[in-house]
Structure 1
Amino acid sequence: MVYALIIIALLLILLGLVWLDFRLGRRSLIINEEPIEPLVRESRMQLLTTGDHFVECLMQDLFHAEKHIHMLFYIFRDDHIGQKIIDLLELKAKQGVKVRLMVDMFGCKISFRNKRKLKKAGVKLHLTPPLSFPYFFFKLNQRNHRKIVICDSKVAYFGGYNIGDEYLGRDPKFGRWRDLHIRMQGNGVQDLQKSFLNDWEDVCHKSFEDASFYPALQPGTQKLIMFPTNGLFLEEQQLKHIEAVKHSLTIATAYFIPSERMMKALIQATKRGVQIKIILPKKSDHPLVREAAFPYFDSLLRSGVQIYQYYRGFFHTKAILFDHDAAYLGTANFDKRSFFINLEQNSYIYDKDFIKLIAAEIDYDISISHQLTMEEYQKRSLYFRLKEKIASAVSDFL
């Protein structure tokens, strides 16, 4: 009995220390992080709506790279499609192209054999974000959720796709994978280059002052702003856009766990007469994230918000339409982890023709999704409601 009490006491002390580490780490981030001041860029963008199209375009640009390839992904698997990209990176490195690859430490599914092969070819591979003291547990909980590729500082990619067979719809567990990604040319490439190199410097503790990484680029005609976030300022940016909406707001997200301020903003928007639609997956790829969303649905449904559940595969899109005047597209979900913890890559697009392309994809997905009704919501089982309670207790970390 005494030993059991000692073990319980030690566990409570450990949990307390983890909690304190997390809170102090968050406080340190708030104190030290500089406010974002994104520039309006003019670029040429191509919307990629399937994993096959994304990989096809990506491999073509990787193949034609002559100077450098910078690649950062949250998840990189060396399955069938991942192995093809690994082999291509190895080839380019042997041809003299500087290849720098970063993968999140928990999302890196590259075998030791492939890591050794890449290193032998000259590819620089690092895991991110780096761990250090103090605030070890806070940093351990941070995920580098960005997905960025830059080839020769001329063409770049960002969006929702990682590297793996499931993103091409080849995993029967998930089925058809719905996501959006952007291929970009023009001066917006410089912002993605800067985001990548900042992360690289954090890992390598080496500064890159090479001006060749930022050549003068021919601007396009599509206006947007791009910025990375490290757990700060994204909530403020989203709130600013939501509060300016007058007619319609459409949120497409894989995970819906909004902050208190976000929920208040959504409810206030309905009172202004804004029509709000939310589309999210019916099935989940992580434990409890689906259940964590349901406690928010009651007040949203009562306020007239339309909630759609995509069931014809897995819905991974991260986009928001604001009156069709602006659109968010990036790596962040509509959840507290994206707002307050993760490293994300974000953009707001102001080109109306491009926004129409995004809207057409989301509208189609809504048209083939199931709309959740209040009657259905109230018929949730006791077991499901119990999982909601558990999910709510840990929702900050899901």
Structure 2
Amino acid sequence: MFFLPLLLIGIALWIIIDLSYGRIVHLRRVRSRSFPLRQSDFHLYTYGKDLYDTLFTDIKQAKHHVHVLFFIVKNDKISREFLKLLIDKAKEGIEVRLLLDRLGSHHLSNEAIRSLQKHGVSFSFCHKVKFPFPFFSANQRNHRKITVIDGKIGYIGGFNIGEEYLGHNERLGLWRDYHLRLTGEGVQDLQKQFLHDWFDDTNQNLLVASLYFPKQQPGTIQHQFIPTDGAYLQHTFLHLIEGAKKELFIGTPYFIPGRKIMNALLEARKRGVQITILVPEKADHALVREAKFPYCRKLIQAGCNIYAFQQGFFHAKVIIVDDYICDIGTANFDMRSLYINHEINCLLYDKHFIQTVRNKFHKDLGNASLLSFKDVSPHSLIDRGKEWIGTILAFFL
């Protein structure tokens, strides 16, 4: 009679201890990291078809190696086309390495993996479940999206590989995201990060191999890559918010900032900074919409403008501070990206490129509706219950 309740309590305590001590041990090991200021040339992609066309062409033209890290590769038409392209390059004798998050890419079939390996693609899942903290390790995902081709072309941003990123998901509709293609000095840093992650999950150390780091000519745009491993991203976001003098634009699919960043936003508003936040109207995960509402209410009361994207699903991760710095990367404006996931972001310091990003952002605002306090308030007991559960689980959403 008492066995089942005791068992459930024991499991709950085990999970709590696992998550708590797993994070403590992780924080003792992890260090704040950043790459030097670099000069590269960039192109911004906001539609999946445009990105895939260029990415696939670059891969087809690879002469030495193709290194790919994604959070999600699915088991649909475009994903199979992508995997076939990697196999074709491996058949040509090109070195191909594919690193995928174990949980994010769970749709990928064992048959597809065997085919990759059979045809010469070096494949590994990252962030497999590990003891002695299985729950913590299962929760800690590699959310980075990096592609490096011949050490000369790099990609980073919000897109994964799948049909929904082409706008083919009937429920979500058009997919809007921000993804960067670069050439120049910064490619070496994306290469280092990929090879760092590859070593972590395969124990194969290629970081000292100079052939993966061909000398590159500087580009025209100053920038810096900031990788984070479940810690220290908060420092970057706080620095950006606290540095704002006039305007702050934030675009994110999941807005769950936590107490410290929320306080920084409210302080920025008190000193006169105009804050505009763009989020999706639709939600692709349970409770993320409800979890953001308490933060939205406080910010709306403080005079911030919060818009909901209406033309499909908005998945971009972007922060624009005045006209002097812009952040684009893989990290969402939520507690999972801040404190759990492994991410990489790019800080850009070029006014002309920032204006390009601002123009894209304002175009997206034109397809969004301004939210009122009433819009983000619960209207029923069910709404209140969802918001309460979302608040409790915010760290894991």
* TM-score calculated relative to the size of structure 2: 0.97
CA contact (8 A) 2:378 2:384 kept: no
Counterpart in 2 of 1:66?
A: 63
Question: What amino acid sits opposite 1:326 in the alignment?
Answer: I
User: What letter matches 1:130 in structure 2?
Assistant: K
What residue is the counterpart of 1:28 in the other structure? 25
CA distance in 1: counterparts of 2:331 and 2:34, whole angstroms: 18
What is the aligned partner in structure 2 of residue 381 from structure 1? 380
Structure 1 residues 292 and 379, CA, compared in 2 at 3 Å: closer, same or farther? closer
In the alignment, structure 1 residue 87 sits paired with structure 2 residue 84: yes
Task: Tell me if structure 2 keeps the 8 A contact 1:43–1:187.
Answer: yes
Correspondence list, 1:103-118, <5 A:
103-108=100-105, 109-118=107-116
CA-to-aligned-CA distance 1:212-264 (integer Å, 9 cap, x gap): 11121111010110021111111001101110111010110000011110000
Give yes or no for the alignment of 1:327 onto 2:326.
yes
CA deviation map 1:301-359 (0-9, x unaligned): 11001110112101101001111210110010000000000011111111111111111
Q: Deviations over 1:46-84 (max 9, x none)?
A: 111110010000011100001111001011013111111
Q: Structure 1 stretch 47-56 or stretch 113-122: which is displaced more?
A: 113-122
Cα distance in 1, alignment partners of residues 251 and 366 from structure 2 = 13
In the alignment, the residues of structure 2 paired with residue 173 and residue 375 of structure 1 have an alpha-carbon distance, to the nearest angstrom, of 25
The corresponding residue for 2:158 is 160
Say which SS state the counterpart of residue 79 (structure 2) adopts. Answer: helix
Kept after mapping to 1: 8 A contact 2:34/2:225 = no
Cα deviation, residue 148, structure 1: 0.7
8 Å Cα contact 2:34-2:227 kept in structure 1: no
- SS in structure 2 of the partner of residue 77 of structure 1: coil
Contact 1:78 1:86 in 2 (8 A): no
Which residue does 2:288 correspond to in 1? 289
Counterpart CA distance in 2 for 1:73 and 1:377 is 33
Q: C-alpha distance in 2, partners of 1:54/1:37?
A: 26
> How large is the RMSD of aligned CA atoms in angstroms?
1.1
On the 8 A contact 1:130/1:202 being kept in 2, the answer is: no
- The answer as to 2:246 corresponding to 1:247 is yes
Aligned AA (1:116): R
* 2:124 equivalent in structure 1: 126
Deviation at 1:378, TM superposition (A): 4.0
Q: Secondary structure at the match of 2:234?
A: helix
1:167 deviates by 0.3
Partners of 2:376 and 2:394 lie apart in 1 by 20
Structure 2 stretches of 5 or more lacking a match? none
* 1:57-115 deviation per Cα after TM superposition (whole angstroms, max 9, x unaligned): 00111000011110010110131111111111111000000110011111222222222
Task: Tell me what 2:173 maps to.
Answer: 175
Separation (CA, whole Å) in 2 of partners of 1:114 and 1:371: 44
1:184-235 CA-partner distances (Å, limit 9, x unpaired): 1011001111111111101111212211111211110101100211111110
In the alignment, structure 1 residue 100 sits paired with structure 2 residue 97: yes
* Distance across 1 between alignment mates of 2:263 and 2:375: 24
Partners of 1:240 and 1:300 lie apart in 2 by 19
Match of 2:255 in 1: 256
- Structure 1 residue 29: Cα displacement: 2.0
SS in 1 for 2:384: helix
Query: 1:364 aligns to what?
Result: 363
Q: Tell me how far 1:13 sits from its aligned partner.
A: 1.4
Instruction: Judge conservation of contact 2:158–2:315 (CA < 8 Å) in 1.
Output: yes
Structure 1 stretches lacking a partner, 5+ long: none
Aligned-pair identity (%): 41
Tell me which residue corresponds to 1:205.
203
Aligned to 1:227: 226
Letter in 1 for 2:277: I
Match of 2:191 in 1: 193
Alpha-carbon separation, structure 2, partners of 1:382 and 1:276? 31
1:379 CA displacement: 6.2
Q: What does the per-residue CA deviation read over 1:164-200, in whole Å, with 9 as the maximum and x for residues that have no partner? A: 0110111112110000100110110011111111111
Aligned letter for 1:205? N
SS at match of 1:256: coil
Structure 2 CA distance, aligned partners of 1:76 and 1:25?
Answer: 28
The answer to whether 1:142 aligns with 2:151 is no
- For 1:47 and 1:313, how far apart are their aligned partners in 2? 19
Which stretch shows the higher mean deviation, 42-51 or 375-384? 375-384
Cα displacement (A) at 1:377:
3.4
